[in-house]
A and B are shown apart, each in its own frame.
Chain A
């Protein structure tokens, strides 16, 4: 089983739609969780950290479910500029490193 698993997509949604991605992780000791955004073969950029109580940043909401070992990202009112690959990232306890999922591709259409 992969340490971090994501649906590769693509998710094709119209502008203005709400879309949600899930990501599952295998290491129950993981403590840090992030969502990164990556545009076509460019560098990954931090979108938001994910906190235990859930957190929101504008149109983006992240949730963590430790019992089921998954994190989610909700995007409301999708914009064309949201088209990108979204990477789920989890730390490795004891390895002091981050594990990246393979990403979920989002395509927002006019």
Chain B
């Protein structure tokens, strides 16, 4: 089954404790992206990757890091999480390029206390 898998689905943690949210897709997609969704603000792009070893900032990259060492994986790293990063996070992928329809993972709800 074609899918984008995120882990964990839910996480409650404390300020400053490094965390990683994993994202994996099995569709051989070149393009992957991370979004956060907050009430009233909609989906905002954090980082995206056009292909292996090619990443770029989205609209709200501060406080986040990503890597793309393999085509299927695109982890999101919060080196020192803060309460303003409490949000619902989605990973997405598309075959080629960000201007194509994207497939989304189920989402990760992060709470930073």
Interface residues of A (CB under 8 A from B): 31-32, 34, 41-46, 49, 87, 91-92, 95-98, 100-103
Contacts and interface: CB of A to CB of B under 8 A. Distances in A.
A102 B37 CA distance: 9
B48 A97 contact: yes
Contacts of A44: 43, 90, 104
Interface string B84-113: 000010100000011111111111000000
A43 B105 contact: yes
A41 B99 contact: no
A43 B99 contact: no
B90 A43 contact: yes
B101 A46 contact: yes
B50 interface: yes
B20 to A, nearest CB: 20
B36 to A, nearest CB: 11
